[in-house]
Chains A and B, each alone.
Chain A
Amino acid sequence: MKRRILKHRRLLFAGAFLAGALVIDQGLGFLLQKALPRVKVGQTVGQVNVALDHAGADVLIFGSSRAQHHIMPAVLTDEFGCSAFNAGCDGQGILYHRILARLAIARGSNARLFILNVDPSDFYKPEFPRALVLAPYLEEDPLARELVARAAEPYGELKTHCRTWRFNSIALPIALRMFASNPEPACDGFVPFSGDYREVEFRHTKADFHEEVVQQQRQFIADARSHGIAVALVVGPRFRRDPHYAKGLDAIARLAREEDVCVLYLDDRRYPVFCNKAYYRDHAHLNAEGAMILTHLIASELRERKLLP
């Protein structure tokens, strides 16, 4: 009898511990969710929050570091008199940008144009897991939830039910940045690179072509179009190309053909000005001067193709 009581007590003990964990998960998740919108600085959630705050801009720019440091919204504003915001993010791939675009649409974006920077190397390093930085926002859009679950595989669906998990690797930046001052009111998302060309390690690694990237790009275009938003793809210049460049470029051309989407090829092959090292910060990124030239070229091509009046 005594043993049964003891066994019973231990089961209760274990059950209470698990129940406590669930309560803490929900409570902590709730608190972090509440604190989330207050973070406006920093490379992770701060950047996402500021981008979503500008969801109402006429032109939204998406893409990796090669969008964030290359395309100047101020130039587009001067040229077309429309509002523009650069939502590009270092190290992020198409899954992140598709989710972010959906979140912007869910927040009532009435943009006229989405500019998506695509790079031939994107197909070889999809960076899907990095899209998990958007996990705290998954309640805002059902498809965003599905995409976050995909980025979190294995057991992605299960993980999305844990509220604290959504803040994995983000909780500290939230805590650290919560009390930091807000960014400049004129912030347009563009981050210029300054300084001379710097040699950084450039390794050719064997990598597989990820057809999934093409599918996600296709869906990005479809999502935008279903809300009446035009899409333009931009292929920017590089000082050095990796061996997959030609095949990646073919994939972009195929996508453009099949989806009937406009691609602005602004690489060094078409514009020899980009063969000049002086406009680069490293082999893959332009400096501020290079970014200025590139954005003016984007503006003239957009006007030529009547994507913006």
Chain B
Amino acid sequence: MIFNSINYLVFLPLVVLLYYGLPHRMRWAVLLAASYFFYMCWNAQYAILLAVSTVVPYLGALVIARSTNTRNRRATLVASLGTNLGLLVAFKYWEFFAESADWLGARLGVSFSLPTLDVLLPVGISFYTFQTISYTVDVYCRRIDAEKHLGRFALYVSFFPQLVAGPIERASRLLPQFYCQQHFDFTRICLGCQLILWGLFKKVVIADRLAIYVDSVYNSVGYHECVAYLLATYAFAFQIYCDFSGYSDIAIGSAALLGIRLVANFRQPYFATNLRDFWRRWHISLSTWLRDYVYIPIGGSRRGKAWTVVALMITMLLGGLWHGASWTYVIWGGLHGLLLVGSRATLDARNLFWDRLHLPHWLRDTVRIALTFHLVCLCWVFFRAKTLADAMTILGSFFQRSWALPGVNPNVLVSGLLGVLVLAAVQILQLQRGSCRRCVARLPLPVRWSVWYGLIFAIVLLGVQQGSQFIYFQF
């Protein structure tokens, strides 16, 4: 069951009705049952995996919380994290490691072949594994108390709006909300519906429409020329943003219908003025997770400049690998790491340079935004390309002097462009006034309703019906 399916549009109101119809003490059970049902719609067997990923950190955290012996606490932490990371490695990375080891062996003249598991990647495993890791570490560091209620903890791990593609929630934020009695709040329901609508618009009208062109180019690398690759790369930048932020909006909106507040995952990332700024705006729940559980624990910027570079590179390489078991993702992460290092090292010089130019603020920011956007697009080539060879072919084509215009379906082009223009208008409004929704809410009723009707009928008329899954579901 995916968010942009009619099944979900039936499932969600049923869960909401049941949730508010039952007394508070039973609501966690409704949500847990709904979450497991939601997950089992993909693959029922993997619910066992989800249950194991729940029980192990739950018991581990209880032992850690009760134990006063440092060695025991540490051993339990290692066992708990090891189990969850072991599952992640087995299901997601084993084949990648085996293939890489085989390749390396062949290069070194050593012949060995690691067995492959040949299993399907469980949906959302990277997301819920990171959530359980953060919980276990937080309990170990005594930032939070261990959760005693297995049901509510299971709900924290499997809460359906954010189960398969985040946002990656912290226990300190999400768990207490399951204890609070939520009352049916009409305003909050409206807000949730509006977010779902906006998320759906971004997904089916913009992302899925652009995906038609992007897929046609990136799935047949070698048969196109420079302009086609450039267009497809720009289109992919908007596709992935609208796909993932659309998912996040639907997740946040769905949770809002149940009275649960999820963390914001995006903040106009393509308006970032440098790479550091970009990572403060893009997939915020992952970047803050990586900061809190990788970058800072390994030393961060506390051990001098050289170590900061190492810590940044480790963090970004891991961030890349988190996205997928492929060298293209590792290189994507590595490239971002290098650019971040460069951005950090040259920040003062760049600021001085811009100051000396005496450009108006708006022009300076526009140039910086454009530069950052293009650097991000360059990295997206590795993210989207199927293989390293494909990525290199595409990058190589950027230096060719062939400017033949590609044949683009005008329907795809116009729909996609219209969508991107609407998106840009909304984001500019958000930047200037804080919230676009609040601006709309201040409008007279007929205008306000016209906006929402506009979104609804744009989805019905312009949305791609046989759309694909969300990109981040594969991670």
Task: Mark A residues whose CB is within 8 Å of B.
Answer: 10, 17, 20-21, 24-25, 28, 44, 129, 132, 152, 154-155, 158, 162, 164-165, 167-169, 171-173, 176, 199-201
User: Which residues 424-475 of B have a CB within 8 angstroms of A?
Assistant: 449, 452-453, 456-457, 460-466
Q: Residue A154 contacts which of B6, B415, B457, B462 (CB distance < 8 angstroms)?
A: B6
**Shortest distance from the beta carbon of A9 to any chain B beta carbon, whole Å:** 10
Measured in the bound complex, the distance between the Cα atoms of B7 and A24 in whole Å is: 24
Q: Residue B453 contacts which of A10, A20, A132, A168 (CB distance < 8 angstroms)?
A: A20
Q: 20 A-B Cβ contacts within 8 A?
A: A20-B449, A20-B453, A25-B457, A28-B461, A129-B466, A132-B465, A152-B465, A154-B7, A155-B6, A158-B6, A164-B460, A168-B461, A168-B463, A169-B415, A169-B464, A172-B411, A172-B414, A172-B461, A199-B223, A200-B220
**Shortest distance from the beta carbon of B330 to any chain A beta carbon, whole Å:** 26
- Taking CB atoms, residues of chain A closer than 8 Å to B456 are 21
Given A20-B453, A129-B465, A168-B460: A201 and B410 within 8 A (CB)? no
- Taking CB atoms, residues of chain A closer than 8 Å to B463 are 168
**Shortest distance from the beta carbon of B359 to any chain A beta carbon, whole Å:** 39
- Are A169 and B186 neighbours in the complex by a CB distance under 8 Å? no
Measured in the bound complex, the distance between the Cα atoms of B5 and A132 in whole Å is: 17
- Are B460 and A165 neighbours in the complex by a CB distance under 8 Å? yes
**Shortest distance from the beta carbon of B184 to any chain A beta carbon, whole Å:** 10
Q: Residue B465 contacts which of A169, A172, A201 (CB distance < 8 angstroms)?
A: A169
- Taking CB atoms, residues of chain B closer than 8 Å to A171 are 461-462
Known: A20-B453, A21-B453. 17 other contacts (CB 8 A): A24-B457, A25-B457, A28-B461, A129-B465, A154-B6, A158-B6, A164-B461, A168-B460, A168-B462, A169-B415, A169-B461, A169-B465, A171-B462, A172-B415, A172-B462, A200-B220, A200-B223
Nearest to A24 among chain B residues (CB) is B453
Task: Mark B residues whose CB is within 8 Å of A.
Answer: 5-7, 186, 220, 222-223, 410-411, 414-415, 449, 452-453, 456-457, 460-466
- Are B465 and A162 neighbours in the complex by a CB distance under 8 Å? no
- Taking CB atoms, residues of chain B closer than 8 Å to A44 are 411
**Shortest distance from the beta carbon of A155 to any chain B beta carbon, whole Å:** 5
Q: Residue A162 contacts which of B186, B410, B460, B464 (CB distance < 8 angstroms)?
A: B460
- Taking CB atoms, residues of chain A closer than 8 Å to B414 are 172, 176
- Are A201 and B453 neighbours in the complex by a CB distance under 8 Å? no
Measured in the bound complex, the distance between the Cα atoms of B466 and A129 in whole Å is: 8
**Shortest distance from the beta carbon of A137 to any chain B beta carbon, whole Å:** 17
Lowest 4 CB-CB distances: which A-B pairs, in order?
A171-B461, A201-B220, A155-B6, A10-B186
- Taking CB atoms, residues of chain A closer than 8 Å to B5 are 154
Measured in the bound complex, the distance between the Cα atoms of B415 and A24 in whole Å is: 21
Q: Residue A169 contacts which of B223, B453, B462 (CB distance < 8 angstroms)?
A: B462
Q: How many A-B residue contacts, CB cutoff 8 Å?
A: 57
- Taking CB atoms, residues of chain B closer than 8 Å to A165 are 460
Nearest to A23 among chain B residues (CB) is B453
Measured in the bound complex, the distance between the Cα atoms of B462 and A169 in whole Å is: 5
A interface secondary structure, majority: helix
Nearest to B5 among chain A residues (CB) is A154
Measured in the bound complex, the distance between the Cα atoms of B275 and A7 in whole Å is: 48
Measured in the bound complex, the distance between the Cα atoms of B465 and A73 in whole Å is: 34
- Taking CB atoms, residues of chain B closer than 8 Å to A155 are 6
- Taking CB atoms, residues of chain A closer than 8 Å to B186 are 10
Nearest to B461 among chain A residues (CB) is A171
- Taking CB atoms, residues of chain B closer than 8 Å to A28 are 457, 461
Most buried by B among A132, A168, A200: A168
- Are A173 and B411 neighbours in the complex by a CB distance under 8 Å? yes
Measured in the bound complex, the distance between the Cα atoms of B10 and A154 in whole Å is: 13
Measured in the bound complex, the distance between the Cα atoms of B414 and A169 in whole Å is: 11
Nearest to B456 among chain A residues (CB) is A21
**Shortest distance from the beta carbon of A223 to any chain B beta carbon, whole Å:** 26
- Taking CB atoms, residues of chain B closer than 8 Å to A168 are 460-463, 465
**Shortest distance from the beta carbon of B76 to any chain A beta carbon, whole Å:** 46
Given A172-B414, A200-B223, A201-B223: A17 and B460 within 8 A (CB)? no
- Are B453 and A167 neighbours in the complex by a CB distance under 8 Å? no
Measured in the bound complex, the distance between the Cα atoms of B220 and A198 in whole Å is: 14
**Shortest distance from the beta carbon of A35 to any chain B beta carbon, whole Å:** 13
- Taking CB atoms, residues of chain B closer than 8 Å to A201 are 220, 222-223
- Taking CB atoms, residues of chain A closer than 8 Å to B452 are 17
- Are B457 and A17 neighbours in the complex by a CB distance under 8 Å? no
- Taking CB atoms, residues of chain A closer than 8 Å to B223 are 199-201
**Shortest distance from the beta carbon of B420 to any chain A beta carbon, whole Å:** 14
**Shortest distance from the beta carbon of B450 to any chain A beta carbon, whole Å:** 10
Measured in the bound complex, the distance between the Cα atoms of B223 and A200 in whole Å is: 7
Measured in the bound complex, the distance between the Cα atoms of B410 and A35 in whole Å is: 19
Nearest to A32 among chain B residues (CB) is B461
- Taking CB atoms, residues of chain B closer than 8 Å to A169 are 411, 415, 461-462, 464-465
- Are B6 and A17 neighbours in the complex by a CB distance under 8 Å? no
- Taking CB atoms, residues of chain A closer than 8 Å to B464 are 169
Measured in the bound complex, the distance between the Cα atoms of B311 and A110 in whole Å is: 77
Measured in the bound complex, the distance between the Cα atoms of B220 and A199 in whole Å is: 12
Most buried by A among B6, B220, B222, B466: B466
Measured in the bound complex, the distance between the Cα atoms of B472 and A130 in whole Å is: 26
Measured in the bound complex, the distance between the Cα atoms of B9 and A155 in whole Å is: 12
Given A20-B449, A21-B456, A173-B411: A167 and B461 within 8 A (CB)? yes
Measured in the bound complex, the distance between the Cα atoms of B414 and A152 in whole Å is: 24
Measured in the bound complex, the distance between the Cα atoms of B465 and A162 in whole Å is: 14
- Are B449 and A17 neighbours in the complex by a CB distance under 8 Å? yes
Most buried by A among B410, B461, B462: B461
- Are B410 and A176 neighbours in the complex by a CB distance under 8 Å? yes
- Taking CB atoms, residues of chain A closer than 8 Å to B460 are 25, 162, 164-165, 168
- Taking CB atoms, residues of chain B closer than 8 Å to A10 are 186
Most buried by B among A17, A44, A129, A176: A17
Measured in the bound complex, the distance between the Cα atoms of B458 and A28 in whole Å is: 12
Measured in the bound complex, the distance between the Cα atoms of B411 and A167 in whole Å is: 13
Measured in the bound complex, the distance between the Cα atoms of B452 and A165 in whole Å is: 17
**Shortest distance from the beta carbon of A65 to any chain B beta carbon, whole Å:** 14
Given A155-B6, A176-B410: A164 and B457 within 8 A (CB)? yes
**Shortest distance from the beta carbon of A309 to any chain B beta carbon, whole Å:** 42
Nearest to B222 among chain A residues (CB) is A201
**Shortest distance from the beta carbon of B212 to any chain A beta carbon, whole Å:** 10
Measured in the bound complex, the distance between the Cα atoms of B451 and A146 in whole Å is: 34
Nearest to A6 among chain B residues (CB) is B186
Nearest to A7 among chain B residues (CB) is B186
Measured in the bound complex, the distance between the Cα atoms of B200 and A122 in whole Å is: 33
- Taking CB atoms, residues of chain A closer than 8 Å to B465 are 129, 132, 152, 168-169
- Taking CB atoms, residues of chain B closer than 8 Å to A164 are 457, 460-461
